[in-house]
């Protein structure tokens, strides 16, 4: 079960590629549009979900979060903002990222 569109993109596409690189072919039986649906079905025992670490803060009863310990279990992140007329918080955020890279 995946969250999002029927055709995997972004995080899900990277996750499927990671699994494939390790000899695992995932079978997507169902897609859901809402994270709450994904959590509910997982809590009911209908699937196992692999989520971006940022979603770990969303807690649900009967769910346990475990990190993937493989060093290759890394996905990309995109920063999208306006190029012209960028707001001050956005400029500051980009500056902080640039200083750490």
Please determine, for residue 81, whether its predicted confidence score (pLDDT) is greater than 80. Answer: no
Which residue intervals of the chain are DSSP H helices? Answer: 10-21, 35-43, 88-100
Tokens of 15: 């996750």
Mean pLDDT score across all residues of the chain: 80
What pLDDT shows up at residue 29?
80
The label of the residue with tokens 């959590």 reads 39
* More confident call, 92 vs 48: 92
What pLDDT shows up at residue 75?
72
**What mean pLDDT is predicted for residues 25-36?**
84
């Amino acid at each position: 079960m995946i969250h999002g569109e029927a055709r995997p993109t972004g995080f899900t596409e990277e996750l499927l590629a990671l699994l494939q690189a390790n000899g695992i072919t995932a079978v997507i039986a169902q897609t859901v549009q809402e994270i709450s649906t994904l959590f509910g079905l997982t809590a009911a025992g209908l699937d196992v979900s692999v989520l971006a670490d940022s979603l770990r803060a969303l807690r649900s009863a009967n769910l346990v979060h475990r990190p993937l310990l493989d060093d290759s279990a890394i996905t990309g992140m995109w920063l999208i903002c306006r190029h012209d007329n960028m707001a001050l918080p956005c400029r500051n955020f980009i500056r902080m990222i640039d200083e750490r890279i």
